[in-house]
Amino acid sequence: MKIEHIELLHVHIPLVTPFRTSFGTMTSKDTFLLHVTTDGAEGWSEFAADPEPLYCSEFVAGAEIVLAEHLVPRVTALPEVSSAALAPAMAGVKGHLLAKAALETALLDAELRTHGMPIATLLGSVRDRVPAGVSVGISGSVPRLLDEVGTYLAEGYLRIKLKIEPGWDIEPVRAVRERFGDDLPLQVDANTAYTLADAEHLRALDEFGLLLIEQPLDEDDMYGHARLAERLRTPVCLDESITSARAAATAIALGACRVINVKPARVGGYLEARRIHDVAMAHGVPVWCGGMLETGVGRAPNLALAALPGFTLPGDTSASSRYFAEDITEPFTLVDGHMRVPTAPGIGTDPLPEVLRRFTASRRTLYR
Ligand code: OSB
Ligand code: MG
């Protein structure tokens, strides 16, 4: 594969409602897409992080610099470009896994389209649809939360994830359990908002039969999660801490988690995400596919990953309408609580040119 052109497109897409987590509030999706042209086909990807480094250390402006000045030059210098050669070529650049994931995914998309192969086939997907969960932001008002959860359940979502933080944890979980019953698949996500000193407080969640508590402690606190896990009946799930297959192996060996949220962007791309799935499955640790408020460009390949056999819990693989009144691709929709796995070659979708034009704030050529 020969790379002919790489373009970065800044996009700004309004959210249907603000999305609040323990690390901040989002009202629009502001990121960039990568569009690559090769001698075989074109490819697309989406940078998953935000303008501010609040969920992870990477952010839009930083990723643009890393791509333009460090990653694209290394990749375009390769005598022969293939998706498998990209991670080794980029390995000299420390960190920046989300930026690396964006470049790898766009080139993987082009490679797969060249061969007419869907990413679901490459990864080893075994289902043509996946059960959908939904992530519910911090509303600050229990009646509003119950309305919101009720709306999602009426739409058909099969599991609910509540964002929590100190001051918004036990009470909203109790209210949702009381209103919607003990059979509702329910979990919580703290996005690192607690410390080990909160262990006794978090034990109060044990009575609610949650599927899991996601990332209660700091990203780099594997030891703390192992200690916390000993004190909770609720299974600990890691998100931010799992940056590689090696990190997953370490977390499992330490007893720091019993479940893993796999986000391809956070781990450097779909190839590493697949390896995390394999490591977890070998240990009998269930995984599920997380999200980053992706447009259809990021949502499509996530659905393919979520169809692998080890993805035994519903993911944050919600419909386009969860976040966007208008998506940048054909919208992904919920049918009987499930999302269809794309079957077209590559990531399985394309930005709609007219919509893309309206949502694009600026473009920059990174290579020609
Ligand atoms: O921690 O899973 C997270 C969104 C942005 C950044 C981090 C997270 C989230 C979500 C929503 O919980 C996932 C989604 O619906 O795309
Ligand atoms: Mg999370």
Q: What is the pTM of this model?
A: 0.98
Closest ligand (CA of 214):
2
Query: What domains are defined for the chain?
Result: 3-116+352-367 (3.30.390.10), 120-340 (3.20.20.120)
Could you identify the atom of ligand 1 that is nearest to the CA of residue 294?
16
Scan for tokens 């959210």, then name that residue.
Answer: 15
Q: Is 94 a catalytic residue?
A: no
- Using a 6 Å cutoff on CB, does residue 293 contact ligand 1? yes
Amino acid, res. 299? R
Q: Tens digits of per-residue pLDDT, 127-150?
A: 999 999 999 999 989 999 999 999
Which element (helix H / strand E) includes 8? Answer: strand 3-21
For ligand 1, the distance from its centroid to the CA atom of residue 158, given in whole angstroms, is 17
Q: Tens digits of per-residue pLDDT, 3-56?
A: 999 999 999 999 999 999 999 999 999 999 999 999 999 999 999 999 999 999
DSSP 17: E
Q: Is 56 within 8 Å of 67 (Cβ atoms)? A: no
Q: For residue 105, give Cα distances in angstroms to 44, 97, 100, 101.
A: 7, 12, 8, 6
Q: Is 263 a catalytic residue?
A: yes
- Using a 6 Å cutoff on CB, does residue 44 contact ligand 1? no
Closest ligand (CA of 25):
1
Which element (helix H / strand E) includes 307? Answer: none
Which residue lies with its CA nearest to atom 8 of ligand 1?
292
Mean pLDDT of 303-314: 98
Residues 229, 246: Cα–Cα separation, whole Å? 20
Which residue lies with its CA nearest to atom 1 of ligand 1?
191
Percent of the chain scored above 90 by pLDDT?
A: 100
- Using a 6 Å cutoff on CB, does residue 55 contact ligand 1? yes
Kindly provide the ipTM of the predicted complex, given to two decimals: 0.99
Q: Tens digits of per-residue pLDDT, 99-137?
A: 999 999 999 999 999 999 999 999 999 999 999 999 999
Sheet holding 236-238, edge to edge: 133-136, 159-163, 186-189, 213-214, 236-238, 259-262, 287-289
pLDDT bin (cut points 50, 70, 90) of residue 356 is very high
pLDDT score for 105: 99
Could you identify the atom of ligand 1 that is nearest to the CA of residue 161?
12
Q: Tens digits of per-residue pLDDT, 152-176?
A: 999 999 999 999 999 999 999 999 9
User: Which one of 29, 100, 161, 263 is the catalytic residue?
Assistant: 263
- Using a 6 Å cutoff on CB, does residue 133 contact ligand 1? no
Render 245-283 in DSSP notation, one character per residue. Answer: HHHHHHHHHHT--SEEEE-TGGGTSHHHHHHHHHHHHHT
- Using a 6 Å cutoff on CB, does residue 320 contact ligand 1? no
Could you identify the atom of ligand 1 that is nearest to the CA of residue 26?
5
